[in-house]
Amino acid sequence: MRSVMALAALCASACAGSPGEPNIAPNGPSATADSCAVARPDFGAAATAADRSLFAYDVNAPLNLQKAVESTKNGVEVSVISFSSPDGGPVPGLLFDPVTRSSLRPGIVLMHGMPGTARGMAGYAQQLAEQGAVVIAIDAPFARRGGEPVRLGTGDRAEQIQLIKDLQRAVDVLRARPNVDEKRIAYLGISYGGAMGALFVGVERRLKTGVLVVGDGGLVSHFTGPEDYTFMAGLSCATRVAWFRAMAPIEPIRFIPHASPTALLLQNGRIDNLVPMDDAQALHAAAPQPRTIRWYEAGHGLNPQALWDRHDWLHEQIGLDPRQ
């Protein structure tokens, strides 16, 4: 969420959804297609089993993992990797392996923001690996192509679904590593990665914990906020309605209620100009127990205390080395 296109979302729609789907009428059931006020919709009930099935894939499909060692530093082997994912071709990423450790290690799936890449998370991934975790960071689908991360078309829906499948395959990669304890796998997502993590933890059942850093309810939630009113109002009614209809049913805030029993840590800043407090609180309210919420007197980058709290949480949950 580092630019206007960092976490996108759309608003205003024409008619009410069917039972169990989000209500996309901005002004009640009588609204028509010409009623295109920029307003956040009611997303309705939590995602259904049918909604969650959109992200199903064949867990037994070959991973076809390709791995090339790039460097070794402080006992951590860094490799450029790619692996197969349903409908999306090879998924590029980086693997950080503390190869000097002899015991089974925890695993972490690390997700970047928007715009961003796995390479942009390398410094943090290196730190986590030096503290004992096997870390995999992947490129989101938008990072594998040119152009804006969000294009306000049906491709955005396809890429969001693809991302969740790719992240599930990243868990498969970790579980296939002989030095990873499959019972101690965490997801850690920052900004866009935090928002998409709300969807991921509602779908992936093999996580011990999920850490959602400066996340909000998703693309729709973000771009129906006050900071993006002018931008959204400048789009045509047809563009807004079509994009909204594609994206609202897969809004992460609808999926996070299914995260239990995965333990959640949600971190947000009180003066974050990209994720207003109300948006963060809406996500927190949708998150099930067990959940831990931490607020900081900080902006979107949070502060050192947030980093320490995150480390302590991962130490307690998956056995990351204790803070020195």
pLDDT tens column, 158-180: 999 999 999 999 999 999 999 99
Which residues, in sequence order, are CB contacts of 15 under 8 Å at separation 6+?
A: 24, 25, 29, 31, 32, 33
Mean pLDDT value across residues 20-39: 45
Phi, psi of 293 (to 5 degrees): -115, 130
pLDDT band at 241 (very low <50, low <70, confident <90, very high): confident
pLDDT at site 277: 96
Helix axes 154-176, 192-200, angle to 10 degrees: 70
Superfamily of 60-222+251-318 according to CATH: Alpha/Beta hydrolase fold, catalytic domain (3.40.50.1820)
Instruction: Kindly tell me if the per-residue pLDDT of 40 is higher than 90.
Output: no
pLDDT at site 133: 98
Dist. CA 101–CA 120, nearest whole Å = 25
pLDDT at site 42: 81
Residue keyed to tokens 């630019």: 3
In the chain, where the domains are located = 60-222+251-318
DSSP H/E element including 304: helix 304-318
Percentage of the chain modeled with pLDDT above 90: 77
Helix axes 192-200, 277-286, angle to 10 degrees: 20
DSSP H/E element including 98: strand 89-98
Helix axes 154-176, 237-247, angle to 10 degrees: 30
Please, what's the b/e burial string for 71-89 (b: 16 or more CB within 10 A of its CB; e: otherwise)? eeeeebbbbebbbbbbebe
**Does the predicted model carry a pTM greater than 0.85?**
yes
| Of residues 310, 301, 298, 266, the one with CA closest to residue 127 | 310
State pLDDT tens for residues 258-314: 999 999 999 999 999 999 999 999 999 999 999 999 999 999 999 999 999 999 999
Dist. CA 233–CA 217, nearest whole Å = 20
State pLDDT tens for residues 242-267: 888 899 999 999 999 999 999 999 99
